[in-house]
Each structure stands twice: as structure tokens, then as C-alpha cells.
């Protein structure tokens, strides 16, 4: 481990966690969000040289992505799921994708984070580690409020675990003011799985519209066990429930705009699936 003036460069996760326990430091991943802040206060803990946090692998149940994997590394990976690669390829521009990391994107706590939207729709888990503890929690429990995460003193985000089920048939659209370097105005991701003509899984997630990424599994459930044509029959009811459930806040664009875009994307997702 190297100690610098105002910074530490650990080579292993163990070293990084000891510093998290013993010193007041700010974890630094890619810097692409952090460097927008004025650099006063705590020293930086540079995590970008820790090889064990840069691994993408697959086990029987999950695709596991190390927190320090950059968006470019995810995009270039043969193991990362297509839905995530698709979202990462539309994030910012090449230079930001080369340095920004999935751990940093989640750790920033924003509902506009494009990788977090995918982790929400796939019901992914976040593995958190400190020098003395380790836990794995659902991403929906990790986000408590805007910029407030269930991250305890001394903990680092070390890995995301994406369940391998239901990833194949996906829908993803990011709406921004331009094609590249765009902050998401509305992000939408949907999954729909059909087996033997019957819908077995539906999940939708809306990003950038409320303080936390929005999921309504209780509404999506109404399609489970139905055929596509039965789903078509209850589509209006489904859309009405979403119309009432979604309550976007105003930001760079108005509430009404965001709401309209959300409903259009939801309809387009259903439409693409024949509903």
C-alpha cells in the first residue's frame, strides 16, 4: 500500500478495509462524479488499483461484477448481461465510461444512475464489506432516500450480484437531451419472461423521476400466469394503476413531461411484447 499526501493507494481489498476502519477517508473510484466536488476535507482512498474488485464472473445463480469495473470494462465483457451492457454503452461519453465505475455509480446515491436502474429491474444484490463484517442486500434496500444509502461506517461496496434468471427478454430506453453526454431525464427498463405461452415474470423500473428508482412489483404481478392475449385484456387496468402510482418530481424538465414519457415507455414495452 502506498501512502500519499492526502491519499492512500491500497493494492488489496484487505488493505483498503483497514484504512476504512482506521482513518477518515473518502473512497475514490473513477472520480467522474467525485471530482465535481471541491476537494477539501478527508483524504481519498484510491480504489482503482485493487485487482480483486475488477473481476466480472458468473456462478450458478448470479453474474457478479466487481465494484471497480469501469463502464467500458462492463461493455467489453463477454460475461456481463446484455441489458447492462446496453445501458452502459449509452452512458456519458467514452472518457467517462473509461473511468466511471459501477460501484461509484451506485455509491453516488442518485436515482439518475443508469447502472442502478438495471440493478433495480433485475432485483440485484449489493455485497458490502468492512474490516469486520460482510453482508449482501437487495439494491432496493440499499437506497433509503435521495443520496442516503444503507452504508455503514467502514463499509465499501465490493460487488454487485445480478440474478441470471429473466435477463434475456429486456427493454431499455434512456431519454436525455442529446445522444451522448446526457444526464438521464427518464430511464426505463423492463423484463418480461414467457414460458409455454404463459407470462412467468414481469419487472419494470423507472429512473430519474423520483428520489429513488421506482419499482411497482405489486402492479407487475397482475400479468403473472396470464397468456399474452389475456394480458392484453387487462392492459388498460395495468396502465391505469401505473398512471396513479407514478409521481415524478420536477427537475430539469417538468413533472408532466416526465409522466408522459414514463407512460409512453411503459406502453412501448408492452407493445414490443405483443401486449
Partner 1 sequence: MKYIEFKLNGENVQYEGSAKDRLLDILRETYRLTGVKCGCKEGECGACSVIIDGRLANSCMIAMGSIHGSDVMTIEGFSNTERFKVIDKAYGDVSAVQCGFCIPGMVLATECILAVTPHPTEEEIRRGISGNLCRCTGYNSIVKAIGIAAKEGEGLW
Other beta carbons within 10 angstroms of residue 260's beta carbon come to 13
Q: Is 7 in the site for partner 1 (CB under 8 A)?
A: yes
Site for partner 1 in 97-136 (CB under 8 A): 98-99
Q: Is 72 in the site for partner 1 (CB under 8 A)?
A: yes
Q: Is 92 in the site for partner 1 (CB under 8 A)?
A: yes
Question: What angle is formed at CA 113 by the lines to CA 32 and CA 11, rounded to 5 degrees?
Answer: 45
Using the minimum distance from each CB to partner 1, give the nearer residue, 7 or 211. Answer: 7
Choose which of 181, 234, 245, 250 interacts with partner 1 (CB under 8 A).
Answer: 181
Location of C-alpha cell 412489483? 217
Q: Is 142 in the site for partner 1 (CB under 8 A)?
A: no
Per CB under 8 A, which region of 44-52, 60-68, 165-173, 217-225 contacts partner 1?
Answer: 44-52
Per CB under 8 A, which region of 178-186, 209-217, 236-244, 254-262 contacts partner 1?
Answer: 178-186
Per CB under 8 A, which region of 26-34, 160-168, 185-193, 200-208 contacts partner 1?
Answer: 26-34
Using the minimum distance from each CB to partner 1, give the nearer residue, 72 or 273. Answer: 72
Choose which of 24, 39, 234, 249 interacts with partner 1 (CB under 8 A).
Answer: 39
CA 224 to chain centre: 24
Q: Is 78 in the site for partner 1 (CB under 8 A)?
A: no
DSSP 230-254: HHHHTHHHHHHHHHHH--PPPSSS-
Using the minimum distance from each CB to partner 1, give the nearer residue, 177 or 245. Answer: 177
CB–CB of 65/159 below 8 Å? yes
Minimum CB–partner distance for residue 224 and partner 1 (Å): 39
Q: Is 46 in the site for partner 1 (CB under 8 A)?
A: yes
Q: Is 6 in the site for partner 1 (CB under 8 A)?
A: yes
Bridge partners of residue 235, in order along the sequence: none
Listed in sequence order, the residues at least 6 apart from 99 whose beta carbon sits closer than 8 Å to its beta carbon are: 30, 31, 32, 48, 70
Distance CA 220, CA 209 (A): 19
Q: Is 43 in the site for partner 1 (CB under 8 A)?
A: yes
Using the minimum distance from each CB to partner 1, give the nearer residue, 73 or 123. Answer: 73
Q: Is 51 in the site for partner 1 (CB under 8 A)?
A: no
Q: Which residues bind partner 1 (CB under 8 A)?
A: 2-9, 28, 30-32, 34-36, 39, 43-44, 46, 48-49, 72, 92-96, 98-99, 179-181
Amino acid at each position: 500500500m502506498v501512502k500519499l499526501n492526502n491519499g492512500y493507494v491500497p493494492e488489496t481489498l484487505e488493505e483498503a478495509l483497514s484504512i476504512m476502519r482506521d482513518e477518515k477517508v473518502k473512497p475514490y473510484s473513477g472520480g467522474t462524479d467525485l471530482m465535481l466536488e471541491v476537494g477539501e476535507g478527508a483524504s481519498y482512498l484510491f480504489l482503482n488499483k485493487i485487482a480483486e474488485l475488477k473481476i466480472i464472473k458468473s456462478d450458478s445463480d448470479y453474474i457478479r461484477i466487481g465494484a471497480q469495473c469501469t463502464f467500458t470494462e462492463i461493455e467489453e465483457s463477454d460475461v456481463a448481461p446484455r441489458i447492462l451492457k446496453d445501458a452502459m454503452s449509452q452512458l456519458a461519453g467514452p472518457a467517462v465510461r473509461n473511468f466511471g465505475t459501477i460501484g461509484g455509480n451506485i455509491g453516488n446515491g442518485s436515482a439518475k444512475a443508469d447502472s442502478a436502474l438495471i440493478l433495480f429491474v433485475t432485483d440485484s444484490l449489493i455485497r458490502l464489506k468492512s474490516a469486520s463484517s460482510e453482508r449482501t442486500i437487495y439494491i432496493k434496500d440499499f437506497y433509503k432516500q435521495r443520496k442516503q444509502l444503507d452504508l455503514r461506517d467502514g463499509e465499501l461496496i465490493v460487488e454487485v450480484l445480478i440474478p441470471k434468471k429473466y435477463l434475456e427478454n429486456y427493454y431499455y430506453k434512456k431519454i436525455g437531451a442529446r445522444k451522448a453526454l446526457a444526464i438521464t431525464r427518464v430511464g426505463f427498463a423492463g423484463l418480461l419472461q414467457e414460458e409455454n405461452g404463459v407470462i412467468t415474470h414481469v419487472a419494470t423500473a423507472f429512473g430519474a423521476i423520483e428520489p429513488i428508482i421506482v419499482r411497482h412489483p405489486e402492479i407487475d404481478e397482475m400479468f403473472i400466469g396470464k397468456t399474452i392475449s389475456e394480458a392484453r385484456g387487462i392492459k388498460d387496468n395495468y396502465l391505469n394503476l401505473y398512471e396513479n402510482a407514478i409521481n415524478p418530481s420536477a427537475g430539469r424538465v417538468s413533472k408532466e413531461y416526465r409522466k408522459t414519457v414514463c407512460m409512453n415507455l411503459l406502453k412501448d414495452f408492452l407493445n414490443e411484447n405483443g401486449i
